[in-house]
């Protein structure tokens, strides 16, 4: 938070105390969020959504209620504001007792209620503040009138770490500017950032005529467009509250802001998709199910999300080669990382499951200690069992949308694609990157059609996802691959060039240098 105390080290290395705390025998602190918001009797949005999201993400959530709404899937019938003094009693009660990592605000329906919130936050400083400036429900009902605009602009936004207005709210905060396109959203995010919040996310769920659902994130320097296919469903009641609470929950677990926002967006996508056909209530704004991922352990999720630049030097292991050179997978992986590999994939086609699992666990430990992500080829079961960072699948392996639903929103998924159509499908299905090739002929994969540099370029141009090139790439031709002039081509994946060699470390270093040099030339 900006002026109310708390820490100021966003975004680089902020970690909640919870994430850093070691557990002792008798005390285990779990991440804690406080939501200050309105009650929705239909339980799709407001306090009820916040509680469900935090529970689904493995985070404790306390709730201070600012208003009670009579609301269902048809709309808001009535709103009852709680007396500001009583909101203050609730705030004092929990803030003096709990050790919150993050405070998230939703419906703050009057200036007086914002005043008591500000007073309590200055009495009890918290580590981070997420402000969802709720003003109008998607059904069109006013939840906080224009009287709150000036205190929002002057006193609440400047102390927020992130604000998450939808397009109507962004427009209201900016005095009524028109926001009808993604470019308008970018301009709005920039202007809102000037009001003082450290990060801005303008949500595009309600943007007219867009087939993708696009949110615009601005950190004061760079914009990120977070884009996903729009889910065709009437069950979108509470998406905004869900997104902001999920951001708060991820921050409480120790995520950086951009990771938190990306995971939250994917959480909303997954929940909407999972619940698109459910029927609750008779109106046009149905709620959705936040617990689609109940089977998974949210606490075990990684703190940092996929960084496309990690595809730079992508090392893929091969058991035959390791046997030939008489080295273990673990030694091969260690040497590759020491030589500069930026991501590792274990590709074990013949290994016994038990043996593979043990090796994979050992590799996870090595990779974690070096901050390098580890993916498993094809074997979703092994990836889950060893808590790898993700998987890489081929076109005839398990479908990517199913892999995504099994692994949840925060694992990395890569998919091999030879054509623009496959690349588009990979994006639609929720992959994080594509591997494209074989670029050149290779002995590693027999009978594999090569696509050449032209084919690679065509796939890169069609792909909304970052691309890593694969197939017959080594020190002699890596430069020609990197020179194809595609901004989303992030690196090369290699097998023989590293592992069918006497010294993996030396080859990795050489290849890393080659890639660095060719990057400099581009
Ligand atoms: N049909 C959809 N498919 C995919 N994502 C969606 C859809 N509708 C909304 N979203 C996403 O949900 C999040 C919330 O966006 P939205 O703009 O609807 O917020 P809001 O209007 O504040 O929500 P609420 O409906 O709770 O008032 C955003 O990440 C947005 O992109
Ligand atoms: C109580 C409440 N808060 C927020 C929203 C925004 O969706 C809503 N509809 N109801
Ligand atoms: Mg909406």
Nearest CA to ligand 1 atom 6: 205
Looking at ligand 2, which residue's alpha carbon is closest to its atom 10? 46
Residue 349: predicted pLDDT:
84
> Is 0.95 exceeded by the ipTM?
no
- Least distant ligand from the CA of 217: 1
- Do 167 and 203 meet the contact criterion of CB atoms below 8 Å apart? yes
Q: Which residues contact 46 (CB under 8 A, 6 or more apart)?
A: 37, 38, 39, 40, 69, 71, 106, 107, 238, 241
Establish whether 239 is a catalytic residue. Answer: yes
Give the mutation target among 39, 45, 164 for probing the ligand 2 site: most ligand atoms within 8 A of CB.
45
Residue 224 CA, chain-centre distance (Å), reads 12
Identified catalytic residue from 240, 339, 437, 491 = 240
pLDDT tens for residues 249-283?
A: 999 999 999 999 999 999 999 999 989 999 999 99
For 32-283, CATH number out of 3.40.1190.20, 3.40.50.150, 3.30.2010.30, 3.30.450.20 equals 3.40.1190.20
User: What Å distances lie between residue 373 and 105, 127, 364, CA to CA?
Assistant: 34, 29, 8
According to DSSP, residue 501 is labeled S
Q: Enter the tokens of residue 506.
A: 């030396």
Report how far residue 261's alpha carbon sits from residue 476's, in angstroms, rounded to the nearest whole number. Answer: 40
- Using the Cα atoms of residue 512, residue 505, residue 366 and residue 369 in order, give the sign of their dihedral: negative
Residue 245 in contact with ligand 1 by CB distance below 6 A:
no
- Give the separation between CA 308 and CA 266, rounded to whole angstroms: 17
Is 240 an active-site residue? yes
Ligand 2 atom nearest residue 38's Cα: 1
Is pTM beyond 0.90? Reply is no
Question: Which whole number is the average pLDDT over 218-226?
Answer: 97
Max Cα separation, the chain? 76
Choice between 448 and 401, residue whose per-residue pLDDT is larger: 401
- Identified catalytic residue from 238, 254, 472, 474: 238
Beta-bridge mates of residue 392: 377, 414
Neighbours of 397 (CB within 10 A): 16
Q: Is 320 exposed, middle or buried (0-12, 13-18, 19+ CB in 10 A)?
A: middle
* Ligand 2 site, residue 69, Cβ cutoff 6 A: yes
* Res 304 pLDDT > 80: no
Ligand 1 pocket member 425 (CB < 6 A)? no
Q: Nearest ligand, CA of residue 237?
A: 1
SS3 346: strand
Pairing of strands 433-437, 467-470: parallel
Tell me, what's the pLDDT at 301? 45
Question: How far does the centroid of ligand 2 lie from the alpha carbon of residue 130, in Å?
Answer: 16
What letter does residue 136 receive in the DSSP assignment?
B
Domain ranges of the chain: 32-283, 308-521
* 236 among known catalytic residues: yes
3-class secondary-structure state, position 328: coil
Q: How confident is the model at residue 447 (pLDDT cuts 50, 70, 90)?
A: low
Question: Which of the listed CATH numbers 3.40.718.10, 3.30.465.10, 3.30.2350.10, 3.20.20.70 matches domain 308-521?
Answer: 3.20.20.70
Averaged pLDDT score across all residues of the chain: 91
Please tell me the distance between residue 239's alpha carbon and the centre of ligand 3 in angstroms: 7
Q: Worst-scoring range by mean pLDDT, 14-23, 368-377, 432-441, 494-503?
A: 14-23
Dist. CA 161–CA 159, nearest whole Å: 7
The reply to whether ligand 2 has any atom less than 6 angstroms from the CB of 242 is no
Residue 359 has which token pair?
């090796």
Is residue 238 annotated as part of the catalytic site, yes or no?
yes
């Amino acid at each position: 938070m900006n002026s109310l105390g708390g820490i100021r080290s966003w975004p680089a290395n902020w970690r909640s105390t919870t994430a850093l705390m070691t557990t002792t025998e008798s005390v285990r602190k779990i991440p804690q969020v406080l939501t200050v918001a309105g009650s929705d009797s239909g339980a799709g949005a407001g306090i009820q959504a916040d509680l469900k999201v935090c529970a689904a993400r493995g985070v404790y959530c306390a709730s201070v209620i600012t208003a009670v709404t009579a609301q269902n899937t048809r709309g808001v019938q009535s709103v009852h504001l709680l007396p500001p003094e009583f909101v203050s009693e609730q705030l004092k009660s929990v803030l003096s007792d709990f050790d919150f990592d993050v405070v998230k605000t939703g419906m703050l329906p009057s200036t007086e209620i914002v005043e008591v919130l500000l007073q309590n936050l200055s009495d009890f400083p918290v580590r981070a503040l997420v402000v969802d400036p709720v003003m109008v429900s998607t059904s069109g009902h006013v939840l906080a009138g224009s009287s709150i605009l000036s205190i929002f602009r002057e006193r609440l936004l400047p102390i927020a770490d992130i604000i998450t207005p939808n397009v109507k709210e962004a427009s209201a905060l900016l005095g009524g500017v028109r926001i009808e396109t993604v470019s308008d959203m970018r301009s709005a995010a920039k202007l809102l950032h000037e009001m003082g919040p450290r990060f801005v996310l303008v949500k595009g769920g309600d943007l007219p005529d867009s087939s993708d659902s696009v949110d615009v994130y601005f950190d004061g320097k760079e914009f990120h467009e977070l884009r996903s296919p729009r889910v065709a469903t009437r069950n979108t009641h509470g998406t905004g509250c869900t997104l902001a609470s999920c951001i708060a929950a991820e921050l409480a677990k120790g995520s950086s802001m951009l990771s938190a926002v990306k995971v939250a967006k994917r959480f909303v996508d997954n929940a909407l998709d999972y619940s698109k056909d459910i029927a609750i209530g008779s109106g046009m704004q149905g709620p959705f199910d936040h617990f689609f991922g109940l089977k998974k352990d949210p606490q075990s999720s990684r703190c940092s999300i996929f960084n496309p630049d990690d595809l730079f030097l992508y090392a893929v292991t091969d058991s035959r080669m390791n046997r030939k050179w008489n080295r273990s997978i673990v030694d091969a992986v260690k040497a590759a990382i020491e030589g500069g590999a930026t991501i590792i994939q274990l590709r074990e086609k013949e290994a016994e499951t038990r043996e593979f699992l043990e090796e994979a666990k050992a590799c996870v430990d090595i990779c974690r200690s070096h901050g390098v992500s580890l993916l498993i080829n094809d074997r979703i079961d092994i990836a889950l069992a060893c808590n790898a960072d993700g998987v890489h699948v081929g076109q005839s392996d398990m479908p990517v949308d199913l892999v995504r639903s099994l692994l949840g929103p925060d694992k990395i998924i890569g998919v091999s694609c030879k054509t623009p159509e496959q690349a588009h499908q990979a994006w639609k299905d929720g992959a994080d990157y594509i591997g494209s090739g074989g670029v050149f002929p290779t002995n590693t994969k027999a009978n594999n059609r090569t696509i050449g540099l032209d084919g690679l370029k065509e796939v890169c141009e069609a792909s909304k996802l970052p691309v890593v090139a694969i197939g017959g790439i080594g020190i002699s031709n890596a430069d020609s691959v990197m020179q194809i002039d595609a901004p989303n081509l992030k690196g090369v994946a290699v097998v023989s060039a590293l592992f069918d060699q006497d010294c993996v470390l030396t080859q990795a270093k050489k290849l890393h240098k080659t890639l660095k040099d060719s990057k400099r030339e581009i």
